[in-house]
Amino acid sequence: MVEYESTRLDVVFQALSDGTRRRMLRSLSVQSRSVGELAAPFQISLAAASKHIKVLERAGLVQRRIQGRTHLCQLRAEALAEAEHWLQYYRQFWGERLDALETVLRVDPAEPSKGTTR
């Protein structure tokens, strides 16, 4: 199994556990945005948006830079790639099991299965 430093992944998954933060990341995947632009679709205050962004920053998912009075946020996909790599193990785990189930289900029902007596 793939092993990773659990505290880092814990922080990433905790950040991703909130729908507002996931939508902010989706928006940032298109282009960098200001805190106000990230807050607008949610009708939340700039302070609330900033708190969400701080969670994303701590997880390494977002980088904020200041241009004058504007705080611009940019997606940092490296942390997402690490989480995806961790999830890949489970994708493979379930893929193998579902393939085995499909094989069992495709057996011709007219043929008696092994171990079955009539």
Section 84-112 average pLDDT? 78
Backbone angles phi, psi at 101, to 5 degrees: -65, -45
Extract long-range pairs of 94-102: CB within 8 Å, 24+ residues apart. Answer: none
In angstroms, the Cα distances linking 4 to 1, 13, 50, 107 are 10, 13, 29, 40
Distance between the two ends of the chain, CA-based, in angstroms? 43
What percentage of the chain exceeds 70 in pLDDT?
A: 86
Q: Return d(Cα 100, Cα 98) in angstroms, integer.
A: 5
Identify whether the C-beta of residue 41 lies closer than 8 Å to the C-beta of residue 34.
Answer: no
Token pair for 13: 């998954």
Q: What is the chain's mean pLDDT, rounded?
A: 86
- Cα–Cα distance between 74 and 61 in angstroms, integer? 9
pLDDT band at 110 (very low <50, low <70, confident <90, very high): low
